[in-house]
Chains A and B, each alone.
Chain A
Amino acid sequence: MKFVDEFRDIELVRNLSAKIHEITTKEWTIMEICGGQTHCIMRYNLEEFLPEKIRLVHGPGCPVCVTPLEIIDKAVRIAQREDVIFTSFGDMLRVPGSEKDLMSVKAGGGDVRILYSPLDAIKIAEDNPDKKVVFFAIGFETTAPANAMAVKEASRRGLKNFSILSSHVLVPPAMEVILSSEQNRIEGFLAAGHVCTVMGYEEYIPIAGKYRIPIVVTGFEPVDILKGICHVVMQLEEGRYEVENAYGRVVSREGNLAARKLLKDVYDVTDMKWRGIGNIPLSGFRLASKYGEFNAEQIFDVGDIVQQESPLCIAGEVLQGLKKPGDCSAFGRECKPEHPLGAPMVSSEGACSAYYRFKKTEGMET
């Protein structure tokens, strides 16, 4: 695939590896924000190409992992209704709720459908006027505009049987939570490239200044990731803390202005509960009140569902980079992708799942 394969070239990976070895003199801890980056690091074993002094820590950028338990429970209750066609990205079906997941609703006869695009749900709603079609609209800033587009299109077409169950989260407030923790060890960030394709990177400039931390917009292929790490290490070694863009082929300073305008129209910024982390002020989107007729939480009776997290799973600490998956006593034993205890073992981008698939840990049952 053009613009993908070239960025997996082992020669370029080796060149970057040599450069990073050459410039690294001190120990540095760097967090990659996005689960897609974590997946790439594990899949290509990129830590092997780094000096021992560089430690990579995996961030909270897996929307499947941070979607709160109570939203999963609300999805399960709505999906069980006979008058509902429940639609979702495939990743969400096996995320454990407090009693069951969406996959078991489907297995029990519920009409649960996996979609490639939220726009596909619009067509399903038009084709099934006697059913209520709900789309499980989760995601970071990358996905939120596509979900907003479905709402906008449903509004334009005057659909009365379409709604979204919305749980959207934002990257910068989560970075601030990590940086302001007393336990924080992160000295540099690889910012999530596709979030920045939409949002640009201006909003990271105040964070880099306030916390004196380099933030480098980074892509998702092995060459992109090592290039991002190289930029971060250069800054750290030189005592700089700036926002740099190492993913220029698809990221501009201002991002996609049309998509950002749509976000402003369809959503309001709101406080959000993150699974495993807790409430973070102004860290998510909710549907603006003028689109209330498309809000599944208003249409269906789910307001009574309030859930607390299980204390057994250390996902919260893993998502904040405070612990690695192997630090969990259940990892690879009670908790595996086939029977996950927590969401990071479900999504292929979750740190636990990535470790399980690509990095076997000593003592793990396989």
Chain B
Amino acid sequence: MCLAVPGKVMSIDESNPDLKMARVNFSGVIKEVSIQWLPEVRVGNYVLTHVGMALNIVDEKDALETLELLKELGELDAELGKDAW
């Protein structure tokens, strides 16, 4: 029920200031999504979307750093401090 999926913002329509919309691409499926709660969103951002509302912009830097650290986890094995990730 709380399923939310990331998609890429293709275009933004702010003609209705009370219900700003975007066209968002979810792996080839394009959907109209409201971006009313994300005033800072830009074309090219990935947005986490739930029942037609974009809830947050995906922090790409955080995602990539997490993936990198988890890859290194296999190489470093032990002694990875708890604050490292």
Q: Which residues of A contact B (CB under 8 A)?
A: 1-4, 6-7, 9, 11-12, 14-16, 18-19, 22, 34-36, 61-64, 89, 91, 116-120, 138-140, 142-143, 145-146, 149, 152-153, 156, 192, 194-195, 197-198, 220, 223, 227, 234, 238, 248-252, 256, 258-259, 262, 347, 349
Most B-side CB within 10 Å, residue of A22, A63, A146, A220 = A146
Q: A149 and B73 in contact (CB under 8 A), knowing A3-B6, A259-B55?
A: no
Q: For chain B, which range describes its interface: under 10, 10 to 19, 20 to 34, or 35 or more residues? A: 35 or more
In the complex, B43 has a CB within 8 A of chain A? no
CA–CA, A286 and B34, complex, Å: 23
Q: Does B11 contact A (CB under 8 A)?
A: no
- Smallest Cβ-Cβ distance to B6: which chain A residue: A3
A-B contact pairs, 9 of them (CB 8 A): A1-B5, A4-B6, A14-B74, A116-B51, A120-B52, A149-B34, A194-B4, A248-B62, A252-B56
Nearest B residue to A248 via CB reads: B62
Within the complex, which residue of B1, B19, B60 is in contact with A153, where a contact is CB–CB below 8 Å? B19
Chain B residues with CB under 8 Å of chain A are 1-6, 8, 18-19, 26-27, 34, 36-39, 46, 48, 50-53, 55-56, 58-60, 62-63, 66-67, 70-71, 73-74, 77-78, 80, 82, 85
B58 and A194 within 8 A (CB)? no
Which secondary structure dominates chain A's binding surface?
Answer: helix
Residue numbers in B under 8 Å from A152 (CB-CB)? 18
Contact status B52-A119, CB under 8 Å: yes
Residues on A with C-beta less than 8 A from B1 are 35-36, 62-64, 89, 91, 138-140, 142-143, 347, 349
